[in-house]
């Protein structure tokens, strides 16, 4: 069951792996083609491997600095893309609800909607006055009070934390409450 939950909460590394494999295979296939063409004494298809190696050793001579810089930037960005995909955890915006009988994975937007409803009911404000953002470690609740009606942040916190306890999220995020200094008129 843990393998299923991990698969659902973490993004796959298949796409970058396939891209890297295709690029390496294409480069090796091209090198093999050029080497075979040279072995048969034919003219090179695109670039003679020996000439390409000599030009690579002679860099940066004869290459405009702007082109060399642009090529270096493209290669650095590609390297950074593959490096970050390999190192970063790749978590999806989902949480696990602990249940002994089933694997339950809930999207963070669904959790945010439930928490916003609970906070809205707790302090008696309209739907537009509450905004909830759920991340892996935090739940940020922003509330704009109705003008002239005092709002108790502790009531919002208690309602949101109660809902989180009822959900049984894993990992359990911390709750941060923000009350806007200005209110909404006539809500």
Global model pTM greater than 0.85: no
pLDDT at 1 over 70: no
Residue 37's Cα: distance from chain center in Å?
45
Say which range, 8-17, 61-70, 115-124, 155-164, has the weakest mean pLDDT.
8-17
The predicted-structure confidence for 20-34, as pLDDT tens digits, reads as follows 899 999 999 998 998
Kindly report, residue by residue over 137-183, the tens digit of the pLDDT: 889 999 998 888 888 888 889 999 999 888 887 777 899 998 888 77
- Does the pLDDT of residue 39 top 90, yes or no? no
Rounded to whole angstroms, the Cα distance separating 141 from 174 reads 11
Strands (E), 117-161: 130-134, 138-143
What count of other Cβ atoms lies within 10 Å of the Cβ of residue 4? 10
């Amino acid at each position: 069951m843990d393998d299923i939950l991990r698969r659902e909460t973490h993004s796959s590394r298949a796409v970058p792996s396939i891209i890297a494999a295709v690029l390496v295979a294409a480069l090796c296939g091209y090198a093999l083609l050029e080497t075979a063409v040279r072995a048969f004494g034919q003219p090179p298809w695109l670039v003679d491997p020996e000439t390409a190696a000599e030009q690579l050793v002679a860099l940066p001579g004869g290459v405009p600095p702007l082109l060399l810089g642009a090529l270096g930037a493209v290669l650095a960005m590609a390297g950074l893309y593959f490096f970050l995909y390999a190192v970063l955890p790749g978590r999806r915006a989902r949480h696990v609800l602990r249940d002994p009988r089933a694997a339950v994975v809930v999207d963070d937007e669904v959790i945010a909607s439930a928490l916003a409803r609970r906070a809205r009911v707790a302090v008696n404000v309209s739907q537009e006055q509450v905004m909830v953002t759920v991340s892996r470690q935090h739940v940020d609740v922003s509330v704009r009070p109705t003008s002239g009606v005092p709002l108790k942040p502790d009531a919002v916190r208690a309602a949101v934390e109660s809902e989180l306890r009822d959900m049984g999220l894993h990992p359990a995020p911390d709750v941060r409450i923000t009350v806007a200094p200005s209110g909404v008129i006539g809500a």
